[in-house]
Amino acid sequence: MKKKVLTVDDSRTIRNMLLVTLNNAGFETIQAEDGVEGLEVLEECNPDVIVTDINMPRLDGFGFIEGVRRNERYRAVPILVLTTESDAEKKNRARQAGATGWIVKPFDPAKLIDAIERVTA
C-alpha cells in the first residue's frame, strides 16, 4: 500500500514541489495550507508521516505539531519540519513541540525522500 504523507505549507511553490516529489516517489500526498487546515485534514487522512513548514499564517508549525501530538490517534506519527532556518533555536522549539526530524531547505527532492524514509517503516 502507498504510504500517505500529509504536507502543511503556505507557499504554493513549495506545496507543488512537495506534491511532485512525493508523487514521483510513490507516496500518496495530502496537502494543507496552514496549521489550522492541517489539523482539520489530519482527522480524515490518517497519514503515515507529516511534513510541515514552520512559518505559516493562522497556526504556525510549532502550534500544528503540538496539536498533532495532543491528538491521541496521531501523537506517534513521525513529523518532519521543513525549515530554512538552520539556527538551532528554531529547531529546538520544533523538537520541544514534538517534531521527529527536519529537512533543511533549500528544498531538495532527494533529501526529502531520504528523511521520510528514515522515519517511516
Partner 1 sequence: MDMNEIKEIFFQECEEQLAELESGLLKLNDGDRDPETVNAVFRAVHSIKGGAGAFGLDDLVSFAHVFETTLDCVRSNKLEPTQDVLKVMLRSADVLADLVSASRDGGSVEESRTRGLLKELEALARGEMPTGGGAAEAPKPAPAKAAAPAPVPAAAPAPAPTDESGFQPIPFTFDGFGADEPAEDLSVFEVSFKPRRDLYAKGNEAALLLRDLSRVGEMSINCDMDQLPAFDKMDPEGAYFSWTIQVKTAKSEQDIRTVFEFAEWDCDLDVKVADSSAEELPMVPVPFDLSILDDGTSDADGDDGGAAEAAAQAVAAAETATNVTKMAAAAARVEKKESQAAAAAAAAAANAANAANAANSAGQTIRVDLDRVDRLINLVGELVINQAMLSQSVIENDTTGTSSINMGLEELQQLTREIQDSVMAIRAQPVKPVFQRMSRIVREVADMVGKSIRLVTEGENTEVDKTVIDKLAEPLTHMIRNAVDHGIESPERREAAGKNPEGTVKLTAKHRSGRIVIELSDDGAGINREKVKQKAIDKDLIPADSNLTDEEIDNLIFMPGFSTADKISDISGRGVGMDVVKRSIQALGGRISISSRPGNGSTFTMSLPLTLAVLDGMVVTVAGQTLVVPLTAIVETLQPEASAIHSFGANQRLISIRNSFCPLVDVGRILNFRSIQANPVEGVALLVESEGGGQRALMVDAIQGQRQVVIKSLEANYTHVPGIAAATILGDGRVALILDVDAVVAASRGQSLRQDSGMKADMSLAATG
User: Which cell numbers hold the place of 113?
Assistant: 525522500
Q: Which of 5, 56, 64, 67 binds partner 1 (CB under 8 A)?
A: 56
Q: Which of 25, 28, 41, 55 binds partner 1 (CB under 8 A)?
A: 55
Three-state SS at 54: coil
- By CB under 8 A, tell whether 79 contacts partner 1: yes
E-strand stretches of 33-105: 49-53, 79-83, 101-104
- Give the closest residue to 68 by CA, choosing from 51, 83, 82, 56: 51
* 53 CB-near residues (< 8 Å, 6+ apart): 8, 9, 10, 11, 14, 61, 81, 82, 83
- By CB under 8 A, tell whether 114 contacts partner 1: yes
Q: Which of 29, 57, 63, 70 binds partner 1 (CB under 8 A)?
A: 57
Least Cβ distance, residue 26 to partner 1 (angstroms): 15
Interface with partner 1 by CB under 8 A: which residues?
10-14, 16-17, 19-20, 40, 43, 55-57, 69, 72-73, 75-79, 84-89, 91-92, 95, 98-102, 104-108, 110-111, 114-115, 118-121
